[in-house]
Amino acid sequence: MPKIILNFLLVSILLCCNARAANMETKESQQKKHFKKDVVLSADLKYLLYLPKDYNSTGKPFSLIVFLHGAGERGDNLDQLKVHGIPKIAEADSNFPFVVIAPQCPAEKWWTYYIEPLKALIDDVKDEYNIDKSRVYLTGLSMGGFCTWSLAAQYPDDFAAIVPICGGGEIRLAMLKRYKMPVWAFHGAKDDVIPIARSQEMVDAIKTAGGNIKFTIYPELRHNCWDAAYGDPNLYKWFLEQKNK
């Protein structure tokens, strides 16, 4: 057999083998699969519980405030939570009329990793205590403000009202009308940690989507505007005016 014909045959065989191998490799790298498995989520959160002095397990149910702290109170010392926000108010005022739960985010973690554990905790407290399920209010500051937006968007039917303070959220969720509940947002105009624009863009988006929102801006305050917000008696009157239908 002439050498040129032999070489041609060898090249043709090699090309066919390479093409077949390429086809086999393509099929193997693009296999169609289906995954199905039951996933069990473990929830492990420490939290402060405040019960009004007239709390009872029967009779008229009580309104519940869920408070989410900022990044500075992460860890495993629950007493840290009493420094700011609703736990600080409840510690100082024995006549505070709400049941309060204040979970603590573990050190070096972020609230947004704990959406499902927070949901499980809230559901457990609603079942365990004499809670008016139509009057559950969610609020948080800074990191907790961000999670207030996130948790409310994930479970919009669970909360009668939310109060995110110096936080921010996802505009697309606001435009998708995930915030069905009344919202009262607060922010310091001179905030140099989380720009006021993060709250303003959420307020604008919710208004555009036809939502119910009010926005309080403190012209001279920086990041800590929560002392002013939580220290306003009108906030708690407003809470009690909100109820799930």
Whether 151 is covered by a domain: the verdict is: yes
Helix axis angle for 143-154 and 115-128, nearest 10°, is 70
CATH number at residue 138: 3.40.50.1820
Whether 10 is covered by a domain: the verdict is: no
In this structure, of 17-26, 50-59, 72-81, 215-224, the range with the lowest mean pLDDT score is: 17-26
Whether 8 is covered by a domain: the verdict is: no
Q: What is the average per-residue pLDDT within 198-217? A: 94
- The domain in which residue 205 lies consists of 46-241
Q: What is the average per-residue pLDDT within 203-215? A: 94
Residue 18, pLDDT above cutoff 90: no
Q: How many Å apart are CA 50 and CA 99, to the nearest integer?
A: 6
Residue 14, pLDDT above cutoff 70: no
The burial of 33, by beta-carbon neighbours within 10 Å (0-12 exposed, 13-18 middle, 19 or more buried), is given as exposed
Whether 35 is covered by a domain: the verdict is: no
Classify strands 46-50 and 99-104 as parallel, antiparallel or unpaired.
antiparallel
pLDDT at residue 39, rounded to an integer: 76
pLDDT at residue 30, rounded to an integer: 80
The burial of 80, by beta-carbon neighbours within 10 Å (0-12 exposed, 13-18 middle, 19 or more buried), is given as middle
pLDDT at residue 29, rounded to an integer: 80
Per the prediction, the chain carries an average pLDDT of 89
pLDDT at residue 112, rounded to an integer: 87
Whether 20 is covered by a domain: the verdict is: no
Whether 23 is covered by a domain: the verdict is: no
* DSSP structure string for 198-227: HHHHHHHHHHHTT--EEEEEETT--S--HH
Q: How many CA atoms lie within 13 A of 37 on its CB side?
A: 5
pLDDT at residue 98, rounded to an integer: 97
Q: How many Å apart are CA 126 and CA 132, to the nearest integer?
A: 8
Whether 187 is covered by a domain: the verdict is: yes
Whether 37 is covered by a domain: the verdict is: no
Residue 90, pLDDT above cutoff 90: yes
pLDDT at residue 10, rounded to an integer: 52
CB distance 178 to 198 below 8 Å: no
Residue 2, pLDDT above cutoff 60: no
Residue 25, pLDDT above cutoff 60: no
- pTM for this structure? 0.84
pLDDT band at 137 (very low <50, low <70, confident <90, very high): very high
What three-state secondary structure class fits 99? strand
Overall number of domains in the chain: 1
What three-state secondary structure class fits 104? strand
